[in-house]
Structure 1
Amino acid sequence: MDFLYWLLCILIGIIPAWLVFRSDRKKNISIKWLPAILRFLTFFLTAALLFAPAFSTTKTEEEKPLLIWLQDNSSSIKGALGKDSVAYLTKTNSLWNSWKDNYTVVPMAFGSDLNKDSLYHFNKSGTDIANALQQVVSQYQDRNIGAVILASDGVFNEGLNPLFAPLGNSFPIYSLALGDSTLPVDLSISHIYANKSVALNSKFEIIVDVRAEKLADKTTALSLVHNGSTINTTPVKINKDRFTTTLRFEVKADVKGFQRYTVLLPVQTDEPNVTNNRMDFFVNVIDEETKVLIMAAAPHPDVAAIKDALINVPQYKVSVDVTGNVPADIANYNLVVLHQVTGSPALQKALEQMPVWFILGNQTNLTAFNQMQSVMKINGGGNPNPALPELNATFNYFSLPVSIKDVIARMPPLQAPYGNYATGAGTQVLMQQKIGSVVTNYPLWIFQTGAVPHAVLCGEGIWRWRLYEYKNSGKHEVVDELIRQTVSLLSVKKDNRSFKVFMDKYILSDNESVRLYAELRNDNGELINTPEVSITITDSLKHALKYKFEKDDNSYMLNVGLLAPGNYSYTGNVNYNGRSYVSEGSFIVESVPLEQLRTYADFDLMYKLSKQSGGSFFTFNTMLSITDSLKQNALIKPVIHTEKTFVSLIDKRWLFIIILLIVATEWLLRKYWNL
């Protein structure tokens, strides 16, 4: 096409040029061919502009491979390097200088988060290797990542295990292992699991993971301390050099408010790190009553099972109604459980603004059920389906019991309504229905949060689950916990205060920023943020810090930053329409010495990380060999980017000027020659 275009333009230019030449050669002018050439150029360029084609141009650019140097900037690296700190910096700079001609080096530091500043401060209080790698993928996913050089001791204390972190883009990780991997004598508390909030006078469990290194055949004891007094002790018998065990305490919450508990292990002979022999944690003991009404179409074992699961928790006050009538005091309940009840229009109206847990069965009127809620719709009826539970691994509305997978896999089916299921917006499925060996998309246990939360258990027979769990394990732990968590999620009390200051969490670690939020509502219940909101935060020594909230959309937000460990109280104040509003609360900042829980390097993790990604493993002594390894990796190479663009001649304005100049030149010559 380009050839034909230029041929046509040449022909259009030649014809008038030949006519001009034939006329001018008979005249007395010094350069007879010049006007013809000018006429040819005029018509040729004009034709080129009139047809205005687009011509392609190709531009190539070479992108060097990116070498991302991920430096662990946590405080444990300072001890890992020790006297070799200066030599390490020298070697690092030498490597970077040798790479600059063939690679683009991007140095980054990480602790809990990733950043490009403060590369060698070694002062971060946490280490999240997986998050650092994932952020690299996120920030450079469209670039030519040649390799990531991970300089770390391999000890992570936050986030996912980096060996199982989903990284998406495939790139080799060259592990530069720092520190000493020799296992010292060590007795440590690695994790504590306990509810952050419990009801007053209830019993709760504290689970402690204990680790021991090089202490085979030793016997020690784990102590639980509350308010300075030891309330329980359990023996720990260590039977091998690399020993781990899990111990449990059952504690009664008999004091209201934030309670500090301490777990202690005695210091062992020749144990260099004693910081991890002690760990503190807090539990918020709440004195609140949650009233639950179970309404059933008829007496049923499910009703007894739910009641038994709740009645041992002092926080819950459970009532049962099988009369079919709407209780006069129904509005006083925090949650209504409807077991195969869809009820009259009066009941439906009474429940419009109340949290409800629906449990479906043979007696459920599906038409009325569909009208009462927006969690899901079921079109069908007839004989029920025996539906086995299939756990949804992505469920995150509340923490699931540790052994739930094993327990649920051995449960009998529930009798679920037959039909087509359609879930509503804002829902999350806890379990799906498994019909025979086929896992369906139909929910078995589903939640919908929002202004008025709801849940639906699509089947009767949960009482059998309690029996089967007791038969298999001698307890009702998992099924009862699922019932309690469901009730807890749905029965959260609605806060109708005009002004409130609140937090996402009230027990924080000393490496978490303290964030507070405030909401102010006008007389119509609408959120506003017109007036200024102030807050005073006071520590246990009565030192007060005063702040002003920032306006955020139609509410308020304040990021205080990091605070020292201790107990804090706050008082928020605002003046609106001539009235003063106050909101008070308290929170705790815990001291969690994450970087001191383990002081020896994990070379095994660093080696596995490099091996599974196609990289190589190095130590401080061999780190200068990274260059040779990079050169030998054929996958680390430049990428040639080719960019093809199309240019239209009509966009070139300078061609118009050239045509005008050519026309003007021919006109002046003819005037000069008196033609």
Structure 2
Amino acid sequence: MPAAVCKFHFKPANSLSYPYFPLNLHTELLTVYIPLMNFIYWLLCFVIGLLPACFIFIRDRKKNIPVKWLPALLRFFTCFFTAVLLLAPAFPVQHTEEEKPLLLWLQDNSSSMRGALGKDSANYRKQAEAMRARWQQDYQVVTLGFGGDVGPDSLFRYDQKSTDIAGALQSVTEQYRDQNIGAIILSSDGIYNEGLDPLYAPVATPVPVYSIALGDSTRPRDIAVTRVYANKTVALNTNFEIVADLRIEKLNGLHTAITVQHQGKTISQSPVHVDKDRYTASFRFEAKAAVKGFQRYSIVVPVADGEQNSNNNRMDFFVEVIDEQTKVLLLAAGPHPDLAAIKAALEPLPQYKTELRFGNDLPADLNTYALVVAHNIPALQAGRSPALGNVPVWYILGSQTNLAAFSQAQPLLKVAGSNNTNDVLPLINASFSYFTLPANIREVIAKMPPLQAPYGNYSAGGDGQVLLQQQIGNVATQYPLWLFRAGEQPMAVLCGEGIWRWRLYEFKYFGKHETVDELIRQTVSLLSAKKDTRPFRVFMDKYILSDNEAAYLYAELKNDNGELVNGPDARLSLADSAGKNWNYAFERNGKSYRLNIGLLAPGSYTFKGSTQANGKSYTSEGSFVVTAVPLEALKTNADYELLYKLGRQTGGGFFTYANMGALADSLKNNPTVKPLIHTDKTYIQLINLRWLFFVILLFAAAEWLLRKYWNA
């Protein structure tokens, strides 16, 4: 169909120049018009070639030529193909491609699978690999292992220390959401100890899940301390509460006791009377923090007769006992849910004591506070900024902030604008280095609702660092959303209100507040930290680690002017509670030092950093704790019920190791596990076919040579 000929104008309804036709009428016209135009085009090309051919044939009949029709035929092809090129048509070409269904095989790689498979481990692996090989003809098969995270490596090693089934389902449906996901094959014992309940976890794309249940679902006799709740930090000489959850299976009639132990001594005890086959209960204890530092506590229940798994009868936890408090003043223009969110994030940490005041109701002595959180301060109705002296300040801007007074009160950020607000989404600045961001901050930030930021032009001072930038609509800007400044008077500015929604949304999508709370705590900790005048110090982001996270230590060296330098070498000596020592050398990182020790065995550790500068020796000491929580040992019987419900809920199926071969037939009978046909329509313009030019040239040259040969 020639592109220049076939043109349709779909006129708007308010036009009076042409009659208006409904869309279905235009479609009917197109189905008739396009074949008609094609016919006219080829007829025109044929006529253009036939007319000069007839003229040449009539003229050549009077000449003495052996084959009188041959020059006319060559002239016909020359003119015909020339007309084809000159009219420059575009012919539609349709490409059809079939996309096979994608099968995502999620293989549970946690340590509990060793007990679930036992001696059948090798046979199961052979069957699984044979099934995947047969499926390659009809499906695209991607195999991923999961435990605490998801990845293609280390399949069938069963060495992960935790299991997050919901996280694995969410991760793969998000990663492959743009592909034709047919089904997810979940091969697991159904035991999860991290993340959300798989039955209620939101996924990016609804996909049928086919479960292959492994292990024994029979509940054995078992006593398990399933969870312990206690503050991570408590103040010295104060009482704190400990809550322990206990689960007991098939030991009806048992009389035992649950105890709290500290430094090898029992400090509290409660009797346990089991009155049913599946017994669950929570026990509350009160303990006194009488010793400063990191303290190990244990919840212990004696092993019962016939109990096979004793790993979960004990759970250790650590509490840091501190001998100081940090006062934080929440100063606001008026009541706001942001204040409750900040207070809720700080309440679990007893070293922080918060006080709430409104307007210009300032305390008599601000110097007793380590930090002022100024929410919508300076306020519009106040007209000027309250005198906060040299106390560190965290400003939170909103619709009630007096932007002119704010810009004059501090040097970190200038805002020229009105009190109208924009919906602003957060963008993470990868170069931020004032503190280590939470591990899953990118996943959490991507789910957060916008903050309400004042409308205007933002100009940040040169001595600050931006944590988050503003995205307005779909436009990423250079405007700061959350920025910091260190120095004599540390300062931070959050250019928007509504952080309380972030806590709600994190709980909605992830079932916890940890990441948003950690950002609040890190901000408060950075701004309220007492100035360390030591020329050399070694420190950590956190001093209680789990045995599956790497230990990072940092060091800073200051010269006589108080400037950070890292010219001299810095070393670290690490010792565990058994007296074993390791020696390391710090790496230079910017103007300071950094050391990644890696994973460490559970226990208590002490460290001592050392360096030399200007002929002087400097040292810095400290300690930290690595905890071990045997998540995979808390439950040993497979959860077939969960896997069955997951398959039925998603439109998939449930299979066991014994009948996993029948899974192939179930996939074939599922109407949603089908290939997709992709049709791509393109247009070929003959003017772009270079070889057609040489065909025309060949016909013209052949006619010319014949006439020369025949002398015609």
Q: Same fold (TM over 0.5)?
A: yes
In 1, Cα distance between equivalents of 2:174 and 2:49: 57
How far off its partner does 1:599 sit? 1.0
Whether 2:247 is the aligned partner of 1:208: answer no
Matches within 5 A, 1:355-394: 355=394
Residue 193 to residue 664, structure 1, CA distance change in 2 (3 Å): farther
Which residue number corresponds to residue 156 of structure 2? Answer: 120
Tell me the secondary structure at the aligned position of residue 621 of structure 1: coil
Which residue number corresponds to residue 697 of structure 2? Answer: 660
- Output one character per residue of 1:158-196: Cα deviation in whole Å (capped at 9) or x when no partner: 222111111231221111111111111111111122233
Query: Structure 2 counterpart of 1:86, which letter?
Result: A
Query: Structure 1 counterpart of 2:301, which letter?
Result: L
Query: Structure 2 counterpart of 1:667, which letter?
Result: W
How far off its partner does 1:323 sit? 13
| TM-score normalised by L of structure 1 | 0.71
In 1, Cα distance between equivalents of 2:650 and 2:554: 43
User: Please, which of 679, 686, 692 is the counterpart of residue 642 of structure 1?
Assistant: 679
Query: Structure 2 counterpart of 1:642, which letter?
Result: T
User: Please, which of 139, 163, 176 is the counterpart of residue 140 of structure 1?
Assistant: 176
Which residue number corresponds to residue 544 of structure 1? Answer: 582
Which residue number corresponds to residue 476 of structure 1? Answer: none
Residue 256 to residue 28, structure 1, CA distance change in 2 (3 Å): farther
Query: Structure 1 counterpart of 2:655, which letter?
Result: F
Which residue number corresponds to residue 354 of structure 1? Answer: 393
Q: Is residue 202–residue 314 contact of structure 1 (8 Å, CA) maintained in 2? A: no
Q: Is residue 499–residue 582 contact of structure 1 (8 Å, CA) maintained in 2? A: yes
In 2, Cα distance between equivalents of 1:531 and 1:8: 85
Matches within 5 A, 1:245-394: 245-292=281-328, 315=351, 330=366, 333-336=369-372, 345=384, 347-348=386-387, 350=389, 354-355=393-394
Tell me the secondary structure at the aligned position of residue 318 of structure 2: strand
Question: How many residues get paired?
Answer: 583
Tell me the secondary structure at the aligned position of residue 143 of structure 2: strand
In 1, Cα distance between equivalents of 2:366 and 2:156: 63
How far off its partner does 1:116 sit? 2.4
Q: Is residue 375–residue 456 contact of structure 1 (8 Å, CA) maintained in 2? A: no
- Output one character per residue of 1:459-490: Cα deviation in whole Å (capped at 9) or x when no partner: xxxxxxxxxxxxxxxxxxxxxxxx9x989964
Query: Structure 2 counterpart of 1:265, which letter?
Result: V
Query: Structure 1 counterpart of 2:394, which letter?
Result: P
Aligned-CA RMSD value? 5.0
- Output one character per residue of 1:224-278: Cα deviation in whole Å (capped at 9) or x when no partner: 2222222222233333221222222333333333222211111111111110011
Residue 653 to residue 602, structure 1, CA distance change in 2 (3 Å): same
Query: Structure 1 counterpart of 2:704, which letter?
Result: W
User: Please, which of 626, 629, 639 is the counterpart of residue 592 of structure 1?
Assistant: 629
Q: Is residue 174–residue 205 contact of structure 2 (8 Å, CA) maintained in 1? A: no
Query: Structure 2 counterpart of 1:641, which letter?
Result: H
Which residue number corresponds to residue 229 of structure 2? Answer: 193
- Output one character per residue of 1:592-614: Cα deviation in whole Å (capped at 9) or x when no partner: 22111111111111111111011
Q: Which moved more, 1:559-568 or 1:182-191?
A: 559-568
User: Please, which of 632, 641, 650 is the counterpart of residue 669 of structure 2?
Assistant: 632
- Output one character per residue of 1:647-673: Cα deviation in whole Å (capped at 9) or x when no partner: 233333333333333443333333333
Which residue number corresponds to residue 710 of structure 2? Answer: 673
In 2, Cα distance between equivalents of 1:606 and 1:313: 39
In 1, Cα distance between equivalents of 2:398 and 2:44: 82
Tell me the secondary structure at the aligned position of residue 176 of structure 1: strand
Residue 214 to residue 656, structure 1, CA distance change in 2 (3 Å): same
Residue 247 to residue 353, structure 1, CA distance change in 2 (3 Å): same
Which residue number corresponds to residue 257 of structure 2? Answer: 221
Query: Structure 2 counterpart of 1:34, which letter?
Result: L
Residue 558 to residue 341, structure 1, CA distance change in 2 (3 Å): closer
Query: Structure 1 counterpart of 2:258, which letter?
Result: L
User: Please, which of 498, 511, 525 is the counterpart of residue 548 of structure 2?
Assistant: 511
- Output one character per residue of 1:352-386: Cα deviation in whole Å (capped at 9) or x when no partner: 951368999xxx99799987799999979xxxxxx
Residue 324 to residue 142, structure 1, CA distance change in 2 (3 Å): closer
Query: Structure 2 counterpart of 1:593, which letter?
Result: P
Matches within 5 A, 1:437-448: none
Q: Is residue 385–residue 406 contact of structure 2 (8 Å, CA) maintained in 1? A: no
How far off its partner does 1:110 sit? 1.6
Q: Is residue 259–residue 299 contact of structure 2 (8 Å, CA) maintained in 1? A: yes
Q: Is residue 259–residue 269 contact of structure 2 (8 Å, CA) maintained in 1? A: yes
Q: Which runs of 5+ in 2 are unaligned?
A: 3-37, 334-338, 421-436, 439-450, 456-465, 469-480, 486-490, 498-516
Residue 491 to residue 345, structure 1, CA distance change in 2 (3 Å): farther
| TM-score normalised by L of structure 2 | 0.68
Which residue number corresponds to residue 441 of structure 1? Answer: none
In 2, Cα distance between equivalents of 1:633 and 1:294: 58
Which residue number corresponds to residue 655 of structure 2? Answer: 618
- Output one character per residue of 1:576-632: Cα deviation in whole Å (capped at 9) or x when no partner: 999999876543322222111111111111111111011121122222222232233
In 2, Cα distance between equivalents of 1:67 and 1:223: 49
How far off its partner does 1:197 sit? 2.9
Query: Structure 1 counterpart of 2:220, which letter?
Result: P
Residue 283 to residue 25, structure 1, CA distance change in 2 (3 Å): farther
Matches within 5 A, 1:81-96: 81-96=117-132
Residue 454 to residue 230, structure 1, CA distance change in 2 (3 Å): farther
Residue 341 to residue 222, structure 1, CA distance change in 2 (3 Å): farther
The percentage of counterpart residues that share the same residue type is 49
In 1, Cα distance between equivalents of 2:73 and 2:599: 81
In 1, Cα distance between equivalents of 2:539 and 2:693: 69
In 2, Cα distance between equivalents of 1:367 and 1:145: 51
Residue 576 to residue 618, structure 1, CA distance change in 2 (3 Å): farther
Q: Which runs of 5+ in 1 are unaligned?
A: 298-302, 381-396, 399-420, 429-446, 459-482
How far off its partner does 1:79 sit? 1.0
Q: Is residue 453–residue 490 contact of structure 1 (8 Å, CA) maintained in 2? A: no
In 1, Cα distance between equivalents of 2:557 and 2:93: 61
Tell me the secondary structure at the aligned position of residue 668 of structure 1: helix
Query: Structure 2 counterpart of 1:118, which letter?
Result: S
- Output one character per residue of 1:540-599: Cα deviation in whole Å (capped at 9) or x when no partner: 1343253564869x9987655433223345567899999999876543322222111111
Which residue number corresponds to residue 242 of structure 1? Answer: 278
User: Please, which of 607, 625, 629 is the counterpart of residue 644 of structure 2?
Assistant: 607
Q: Which moved more, 1:567-576 or 1:371-380?
A: 371-380
Whether 2:218 is the aligned partner of 1:179: answer no
In 1, Cα distance between equivalents of 2:615 and 2:173: 53
Which residue number corresponds to residue 566 of structure 1? Answer: 603
Which residue number corresponds to residue 166 of structure 1? Answer: 202
Tell me the secondary structure at the aligned position of residue 169 of structure 1: coil
Query: Structure 1 counterpart of 2:645, which letter?
Result: K
Q: Is residue 49–residue 76 contact of structure 2 (8 Å, CA) maintained in 1? A: yes
Query: Structure 1 counterpart of 2:662, which letter?
Result: S
Query: Structure 1 counterpart of 2:245, which letter?
Result: D
Which residue number corresponds to residue 59 of structure 1? Answer: 95
Tell me the secondary structure at the aligned position of residue 271 of structure 1: coil
Query: Structure 2 counterpart of 1:355, which letter?
Result: W
Which residue number corresponds to residue 18 of structure 1? Answer: 54
Tell me the secondary structure at the aligned position of residue 607 of structure 1: helix
Tell me the secondary structure at the aligned position of residue 671 of structure 1: helix
- Output one character per residue of 1:55-103: Cα deviation in whole Å (capped at 9) or x when no partner: 2211222233233322212121111112222332343344335434333
Q: Is residue 231–residue 348 contact of structure 2 (8 Å, CA) maintained in 1? A: no
In 2, Cα distance between equivalents of 1:12 and 1:556: 83
Q: Is residue 63–residue 640 contact of structure 1 (8 Å, CA) maintained in 2? A: yes
In 2, Cα distance between equivalents of 1:40 and 1:519: 89
Which residue number corresponds to residue 44 of structure 1? Answer: 80
Q: Is residue 375–residue 423 contact of structure 1 (8 Å, CA) maintained in 2? A: no
How far off its partner does 1:37 sit? 3.3
In 1, Cα distance between equivalents of 2:82 and 2:556: 70
